[in-house]
Amino acid sequence: MNSIIVSILVAACVFSGSLAGLFMHRLVRPALLTKESQDAVRLGIGMLSVLSSLVLGLLIATAKGSYDTSDQAVRGYAAELALLNETLRDYGADASVPQGLLRQYTETLLHDIWPTGGGPPHLSDEPSWRLMEQVREAVRALTPVDDGQKWLRDQALTINIELLRQRWLLIGEQGATVSPTVLVILVSWITVIFVSFGLNAPRNALVIVAFVVCGMAIGASIFLILEMDRPLDGVLQISSWPLRNVLTQMDW
């Protein structure tokens, strides 16, 4: 489900909980609203608030860690592509075939991760994968004339294998790290907390506005979690600049 829709539903759920608390205040018998009863409720809600804060912080840290890992992986991948291109360039004119295939692969990879017409990334695209294998075969077909070219060819093969390995790692990192079950439980806890807030709050416009703002803030936090949990897609997707920069260098 779209993260914007989920965040709006969360905000509406939290606000509805506060309204339910305000409504329940009129239904609860005054004899039940003694100071001792309210203190007991506050104690339980305080513990629930601590648990909710811890889980919310854990989810944000997990999503941020996943986001940063993917960002570093893309930057590292771009650096390896640039290094392979420089290695082939140093080899000489005989390496023009694998160098051309490498540029074609980089351009295809750029469109796989950040499609021009929008949509989700598709890193497991087989034609793109085959292009990198063609680069490897073209490098293996090179015939070095001295030790220097032999060393460059061996380096190019090593980098090529590393790129193939890193691509599989990029594919594996695209799975969601935040469980929907955890989110449902967290939102349920927060809703119960706001029910208690509404139960003890006076019924006036200022309180309603405060509950609206709080609901929006909770929804925004869930939005950030969901967006950072899919770093190659959505509003907060990581920058394509590293790969675009490498592609520009390949044209020099």
User: Does any domain span residue 242?
Assistant: yes
Is the alpha carbon torsion for 207, 212, 215, 220 positive or negative?
A: negative
Stronger pLDDT, 175 or 114, i.e. the higher one: 114
Q: Residue 200's pLDDT is what? A: 81
What is the helix, strand, coil percentage profile of the chain, to 5?
Answer: 80, 0, 20
List pLDDT tens digits, range 129-141: 788 889 999 999 9
List pLDDT tens digits, range 208-220: 999 999 999 999 9
pLDDT at 1 over 60: no
User: Does any domain span residue 32?
Assistant: no
Range of the domain at 49: 3-25+37-250
Q: Residue 51's pLDDT is what? A: 92
User: Does any domain span residue 64?
Assistant: yes
CA 74 to chain centre: 13
Q: Residue 33's pLDDT is what? A: 65
Tell me what the pLDDT averaged over the chain comes to. Answer: 87
Q: Which of 75, 125, 134, 143 is nearest to 99 (CA)?
A: 134
**Model confidence at 159, in pLDDT bands (50, 70, 90)?**
very high
Q: Residue 12's pLDDT is what? A: 95
- Retrieve residue 76's tokens: 């590292």
Q: Are 225 and 64 a contacting pair, CB within 8 Å?
A: no
User: Does any domain span residue 31?
Assistant: no
- DSSP-derived secondary structure for 35-70: HHHHHHHHHHHHHHHHHHHHHHHHHHHHHHHHHHHH
- DSSP-derived secondary structure for 122-157: -TT-HHHHHHHHHHHHHHHT---SSHHHHHHHHHHH
139-165 burial, b at 16+ Cβ within 10 Å, e below that, comes to beebeeeeeebeebbebbbebbeebee
**Model confidence at 118, in pLDDT bands (50, 70, 90)?**
low
Q: Residue 29's pLDDT is what? A: 66
User: Does any domain span residue 160?
Assistant: yes
**Model confidence at 10, in pLDDT bands (50, 70, 90)?**
very high
List pLDDT tens digits, range 172-185: 666 677 888 999 99
Q: Are 25 and 204 a contacting pair, CB within 8 Å?
A: no
User: Does any domain span residue 84?
Assistant: yes
Phi and psi of 125, rounded to 5°? -60, 120
Q: What total number of domains does the chain contain?
A: 1
- Retrieve residue 150's tokens: 């032999």
Q: Which distant-in-sequence residues (6+ apart) come within 8 Å of 136 by Cβ? A: 157, 160, 161, 164
User: Does any domain span residue 181?
Assistant: yes
Percent pLDDT > 90 in the chain is 45
User: Does any domain span residue 30?
Assistant: no
Q: How far apart are CA 78 and CA 122, in angstroms?
A: 17
